[in-house]
Amino acid sequence: MDLDAVADELYGLRPEEFVAARDRRALDARKAGDQALARRIGALRRPSLAAWVSNLLVRRQREEVEPLLVLGEELRRAHRELDGEQLRGLARRQNEVIGALGRQARRLAAESGHPVGEGVQREVEETLHAVLADAGAAREWAAGRLVKPLRSAAGFPAADESLLARRPAPEPDRTVRGRGRTRDGDRRADEEHRRLLAAAREAERELRTRQEEADAAARAEEEAGTRVAEAEERVRELRERLRDAEEEQQRARTAAQDARERARQADRAVREARRRAGTAAARTERRTPAGRA
């Protein structure tokens, strides 16, 4: 037994199965004499519902992992270089891919017997945005062991403005007219880069605002889900207690019925004994000679 194997097993389970399975594996490690492994297994955290769905997508759709990682690399490079044309094309692919994977993840959850709502789907899609924006988040997601959804708080990498300084200088033109055209072209290119940079920063601010709103909605949904789970657990416990009480009631009724039957039998025996005693007394009296006390 090793931690990686145990973690792979546990994070492939449904969230409600996680804790009991983790505790069993930690107990197995303790019985095997590996206290350090038992502590490390015991420290593994149960995944949130959205994290479980994200892990499910990785585990069930492995063929989707590598293309998404490649798309993330291309997007991050295009953002650094402020390649406007490439950014527009990749942004369209990003929206299409994330939307499709979010719906696919929701379908997989339903097929696994755990339907989820739109709030969880949004958290899964936010995780995918983080995967595209950050290489570290991409590696974490690809392992299929998320504990909570990923957040793309940092957004895509900032534009590499040093690229502007490293652009090759235009070849000198001996005509004033040529130099004018070159300078105009340089100015237009610089303005386009600045425009793209400003647009990227504005989009980042908009993303943070929408992300905060989505996070608040997701937290509210998760809290509601937790309350539902706790209520369902209480209902389950009460049903078990009710079942135990009903079984105890049935045993008591059976015992009472047996006691009543024994009491009736005892009563009949008493009456029979009394009748026999009376009969015996009458016979004795008839056989006693007159005048004898």
The reported pLDDT for the residue numbered 104 is 92
Instruction: Name which of 62-66, 123-127, 175-179, 206-210 the model is least confident about.
Output: 175-179
Q: What pLDDT, in 10s, does the model give residues 235-262? A: 766 787 788 788 888 888 888 888 888 9
Whether pLDDT at 207 is above 90: no
Report the share of the chain in percent with pLDDT over 70.
71
User: What φ, ψ does residue 290 adopt, rounded to 5°?
Assistant: -65, 140
Secondary structure of 5-57 as H, E, C letters:
HHHHHHCCCCHHHHHHHHHHHHHHHHHCCCHHHHHHHHCCCCCCHHHHHHHHH
Whether pLDDT at 161 is above 80: no
73: tokens are: 């690399």
- DSSP label at 174? S
* pLDDT average, residue stretch 2-29: 93
Whether pLDDT at 166 is above 50: no
| pTM score, whole prediction | 0.55
The reported pLDDT for the residue numbered 160 is 46
The reported pLDDT for the residue numbered 162 is 46
280: tokens are: 């015996």
12 Cβ contact list (under 8 Å, min separation 6): 55, 59, 144
Confidence of residue 175 (pLDDT cuts 50, 70, 90): very low
The reported pLDDT for the residue numbered 44 is 94
- DSSP label at 147? S
Q: What pLDDT, in 10s, does the model give residues 85-102? A: 777 778 888 888 898 999
Report the share of the chain in percent with pLDDT over 90.
33
Confidence of residue 22 (pLDDT cuts 50, 70, 90): very high
CA–CA distance, 95 with 102 (Å, rounded to integer):
10
